[in-house]
């Protein structure tokens, strides 16, 4: 049986507690004899589904605001009911979008994927329907600037699956919601990229857009580039994962969309895109190297409660099939599989109804930042972008391979690291 046919034949799916829409369906391995890339893909699907299901299912049912917990860090300083629901939706959708963009098929995975896509399309309609109990806030507070950008990124990552099927009224409501963000400004840091990406999406779909917000973000990011793939997050450098959470993926994809012919002039070139991409690829090398032989990685800097979003850049470079020659796709697959196993195979990061809890690896609310609530945590889906590669791609079919730190600590040959000048 081919990998594409049996990858989720490994899974038995039964939805428990139908009267409790906050609960995850139970997904368990049915055939532990299957190994290698098929087993890894099954685990990734199981983990991603486990994370995303409560958000997608409740949004489709109109019960997200009813059932999403409102847990906050001890110093939380936002109005949680104004921001946490859009956070949960935008961040979840940005991570699952490449997987949902895959074409339909009759494999068990394909059926599961289509089910989630259909629920999400209903949920996306509810999210901007004034008559829905789950109509989301775009017009109050500054935080929606951030999470509208994650929604925009999802639409750019999966236009056929998530944007084009929406009805005309729903599309218009999103367009109006995104334009309403222009009444506010955010922080003088990576937030500039958020505002620019949303405007870039409006340009992409042929709507009027604000070129000033785009040009300003592009120019500041040029100023804030500090070398060897690292951008400052504002005037000062911050040692954290924001280059992966936000900067490289959004900046690279924004420049890519700006190269497409549209009315109006934005001053970017193919060379600008190539530079942004090369820097992102270099950053992916750092991320691959920090995964320890046991699949752990450093919990440093702001927003470590975003968990596996730390590997968005590595996942995006793998999804784009742009990994450096010496980093084999299978070693990225195996490294991330080990990370995901540590994080999500147990229940330490979920509450009794399947929602993520505040923490890094367990319930650790003291690790939450002043802006972190339950909805914020769904950035974790951003680590799963390679699921957008079909099951017959070499990322999934190549034999297992050790990653860099595992090679280094076991005495295997390892390519020496270096610095870059671009």
Distance, in Å, from the CA atom of 68 to the CA atom of 90, rounded to the nearest integer, reads 14
User: What CA–CA distances, in Å, run from 3 to 100, 213, 319, 340, 404?
Assistant: 18, 45, 18, 21, 26
CB atoms within 10 A of CB 193: 26
* Strands (DSSP E) found in 17-100: 25-29
User: What CA–CA distances, in Å, run from 188 to 109, 193, 202, 276?
Assistant: 42, 10, 22, 21
Distance, in Å, from the CA atom of 382 to the CA atom of 97, rounded to the nearest integer, reads 9
- Please write the tens of the pLDDT for every residue from 234-254: 999 999 999 999 999 999 999
Q: Mean pLDDT across the stretch 206-234?
A: 96
Query: Which pLDDT does position 263 carry in this prediction?
Result: 63
Q: Would you say 98 and 319 are in contact if contact means Cβ atoms under 8 Å apart?
A: yes
Distance, in Å, from the CA atom of 287 to the CA atom of 79, rounded to the nearest integer, reads 34
Question: Which residues in 107-142 are b (16+ Cβ under 10 Å) and which e?
Answer: bbbbebbbebbebbbebbbbbbbeebebbbbbeeee
Q: Would you say 388 and 99 are in contact if contact means Cβ atoms under 8 Å apart?
A: yes
* pLDDT band, very low/low/confident/very high, at 30 (cuts 50, 70, 90): very low
Q: Closest Cα partner for 150 from 259, 274, 250? A: 250
Query: Which pLDDT does position 262 carry in this prediction?
Result: 74
Q: Mean pLDDT across the stretch 318-326?
A: 97
Distance, in Å, from the CA atom of 299 to the CA atom of 342, rounded to the nearest integer, reads 14
Q: Would you say 381 and 55 are in contact if contact means Cβ atoms under 8 Å apart?
A: no
Query: Which pLDDT does position 18 carry in this prediction?
Result: 35
Percent of the chain, pLDDT > 70? 91
- Half-sphere exposure (Cβ direction) of 216: Cα atoms closer than 13 Å: 16
- Please write the tens of the pLDDT for every residue from 255-272: 999 998 776 677 899 999
Query: Which pLDDT does position 5 carry in this prediction?
Result: 39
Sign of the CA dihedral with 373 first, then 162, 108, and 308 last: negative
pLDDT above 70 (res 287) = yes
For residue 58, the surrounding DSSP H or E stretch is helix 37-61
pLDDT above 60 (res 217) = yes
Distance, in Å, from the CA atom of 199 to the CA atom of 249, rounded to the nearest integer, reads 16
pLDDT above 50 (res 310) = yes
pTM of this prediction? 0.93
Query: Which pLDDT does position 260 carry in this prediction?
Result: 85
For 89-98, 113-122, 255-264, which range has the lowest pLDDT when averaged over its residues? 255-264
Token pair 């742009």: residue: 322
The rounded Cα 260 to chain-centroid distance in angstroms is 24
Query: Which pLDDT does position 13 carry in this prediction?
Result: 41
- Please write the tens of the pLDDT for every residue from 330-380: 999 999 999 999 999 999 999 999 999 999 999 999 999 999 999 999 999
Q: Would you say 34 and 6 are in contact if contact means Cβ atoms under 8 Å apart?
A: yes
Distance, in Å, from the CA atom of 2 to the CA atom of 71, rounded to the nearest integer, reads 44
Angle between helix 312-319 and helix 329-344 axes, rounded to 10 deg = 140
pLDDT above 90 (res 282) = yes
């Amino acid at each position: 049986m081919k990998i594409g046919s049996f990858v989720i034949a490994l899974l038995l799916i039964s939805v428990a507690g139908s009267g409790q829409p906050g609960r995850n369906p139970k997904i368990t391995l049915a055939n532990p004899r299957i190994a290698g890339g098929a087993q890894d893909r099954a685990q990734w699907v199981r983990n991603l589904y486990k994370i995303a299901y409560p958000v997608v299912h409740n949004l489709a049912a109109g019960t997200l605001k009813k059932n999403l917990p409102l847990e906050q860090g001890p110093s939380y300083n936002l109005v949680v009911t104004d921001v946490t629901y859009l956070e949960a939706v935008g961040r979840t959708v940005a991570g699952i979008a490449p997987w949902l963009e895959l074409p339909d098929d009759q494999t068990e995975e394909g059926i599961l994927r289509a089910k989630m896509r259909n629920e999400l399309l209903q949920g996306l309609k509810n999210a901007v329907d004034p008559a829905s109990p789950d109509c989301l806030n775009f017009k109050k507070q500054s935080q929606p600037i951030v999470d509208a950008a994650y929604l925009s990124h999802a639409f750019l990552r999966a236009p056929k699956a998530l944007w084009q099927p929406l009805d005309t009224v729903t599309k218009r409501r999103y367009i109006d919601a995104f334009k309403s963000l222009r009444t506010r400004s955010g922080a003088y840091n990576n937030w500039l990229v958020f505002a620019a990406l949303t405007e870039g999406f409006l340009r992409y779909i042929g709507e009027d857009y604000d070129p000033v917000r785009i040009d300003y973000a592009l120019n500041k990011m040029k100023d804030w580039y500090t070398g060897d793939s690292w951008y400052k997050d504002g005037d000062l450098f911050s040692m954290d994962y924001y280059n992966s959470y936000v900067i490289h993926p959004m900046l690279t994809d924004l420049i890519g969309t700006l190269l497409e012919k549209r009315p109006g002039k934005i001053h970017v070139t193919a060379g600008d895109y190539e530079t942004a991409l090369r820097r992102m690829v270099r950053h992916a090398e750092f991320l691959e190297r920090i995964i320890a032989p046991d699949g752990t990685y450093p919990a440093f800097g702001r927003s470590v409660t975003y968990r596996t979003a730390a590997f968005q850049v590595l996942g995006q470079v793998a999804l784009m099939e742009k990994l450096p020659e010496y980093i084999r796709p299978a070693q990225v697959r195996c490294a991330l599989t080990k990370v995901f196993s540590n994080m999500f195979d147990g229940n330490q990061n979920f509450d009794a109804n399947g929602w993520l809890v505040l923490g890094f690896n367990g319930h650790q609310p003291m690790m939450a930042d002043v802006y972190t609530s339950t909805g914020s945590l769904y950035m974790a889906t951003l680590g799963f972008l390679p699921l957008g590669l079909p099951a017959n791609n070499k990322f999934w079919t190549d034999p297992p391979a050790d990653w860099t730190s595992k090679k280094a600590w076991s005495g295997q040959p390892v390519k020496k690291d270096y610095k870059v000048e671009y």
